[in-house]
Every structure is written in C-alpha cells, then in structure tokens.
C-alpha cells in the first residue's frame, strides 16, 4: 500500500468518524441582503464517503421569489440550483422536495413572509469542507453569503 493511500485511509477514518460543531464566525451580505444561520448540522458517514449530509436553518432578509426565478444553495464544496417550477407554493412558503434516492438537496423551504429558509442535503461527499464553511444563497434578485467556522466533536457538527 502506498504512503499516500495509507495517509488517505487514516485521514478518512479520523475525519469521517468525527462530526463537527459549527460556530458562526462572521458574515457579510450583498446588496443589503442579510443572511444569518441560526442552526446547522453536518453528519459524516465514516463508512461511505458519499453518504454525508447537512441541515441548515436561517434567515434571509430581503428574499423574494417570483415566477421564473431559480434558487441556488451553496454549502462548502456542494452547490445545487433549483428552478422555480420545481417549488410548490403554499401561501408564502416555497417548498422543494428532491429525490431521496439521489445526492443533493432533499428538501428546501423558503418562507418569504418570515424570511426563514431551511435546507436538507443528503448523500453528499463533504470530505473537502474548508474551515470556515461558506453558505451562499441566491434566489431571484436576492444574494446572501455567510461563513461558518466549526470545531471538531465526536458525534456531530452543529451551530
């Protein structure tokens, strides 16, 4: 076994068996749109690298969705864009349900009245998360970004 492969296996067994606690480090916003994260959890699967997941909940001041808009969520090295037509609208809530069998966003909820957003990502490879983790939300004319700094813990990574 090569030294690089041995190093990778040790690295994966250490990193993937750990879960992290995210601490909000600092934030900035674009076009006077504030993005804040209230809670976030990242889980790493030590056995299978493509089974990592995340949950994030926060506020997106100034968010508004209209017909034809798309929503892009970036969480570290993961990014997915969802077209407006894939959302179900229930009053002020826009709800997207992804395919539970595929990697990506499982559920994304944006409430344009309360300005709350929630997202679940599943079956991902988050091995390359860099501290601080960038969270970027684009929704129509809205653009907000925030960085989350995390520290390592054994059971999970959360704010």
- Is the whole-model pTM more than 0.85? no
Q: From CA 71, how far away is CA 146, in angstroms rounded?
A: 16
Residue 82 banded pLDDT, cuts 50, 70, 90: very high
Quote the Cα angle for 12-42-150, to 5°: 85
Residue 78 Cα distances to 124, 126, 128, 135, 152, angstroms: 8, 7, 10, 10, 20
Q: Give the alpha-carbon dihedral of 97, 98, 99, 100, to 10 degrees.
A: -70
Please tell me the predicted confidence (pLDDT) of residue 46: 75
Question: How many Cβ atoms sit within 10 Å of the Cβ of residue 117?
Answer: 24
> How confident is the prediction for the chain on average, in pLDDT?
79
User: What would the pLDDT profile of 20-62 be if each residue is shown by its tens digit?
Assistant: 333 333 333 334 468 999 999 888 887 776 888 999 999 999 9
- Give the count of beta carbons closer than 10 Å to the beta carbon of residue 95: 15
Question: What pLDDT was estimated at residue 156?
Answer: 61
Q: Quote the tokens at residue 146.
A: 């925030």
User: What pLDDT score does 25 carry?
Assistant: 34
What is the percent of the chain where pLDDT is above 90?
50
Spatial strand order in the sheet of 133-139: 19-29, 142-153, 133-139, 70-75, 78-83
State the pairing for strand pair 142-153/19-29: antiparallel
């Amino acid at each position: 076994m090569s030294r690089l492969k041995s190093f990778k296996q040790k690295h994966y067994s250490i990193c993937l068996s750990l879960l992290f606690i995210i601490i909000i480090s600092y934030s900035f916003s674009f076009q006077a749109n504030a993005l804040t994260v209230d809670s976030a959890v990242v889980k790493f699967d030590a056995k299978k690298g493509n089974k990592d997941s995340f949950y994030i909940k926060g506020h997106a001041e100034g968010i508004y969705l209209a017909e034809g808009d798309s929503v892009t969520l970036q969480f570290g090295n993961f990014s997915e864009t969802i077209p407006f037509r894939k959302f179900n609208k229930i009053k002020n809530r826009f709800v997207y349900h992804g395919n539970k069998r595929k990697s990506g966003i499982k559920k994304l909820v944006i409430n344009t009245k309360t300005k709350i957003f929630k997202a679940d990502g599943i079956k991902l490879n988050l091995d390359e998360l860099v501290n601080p983790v960038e969270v970027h939300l684009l929704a129509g004319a809205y653009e907000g970004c925030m960085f989350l700094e995390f520290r390592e813990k054994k059971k999970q990574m959360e704010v």
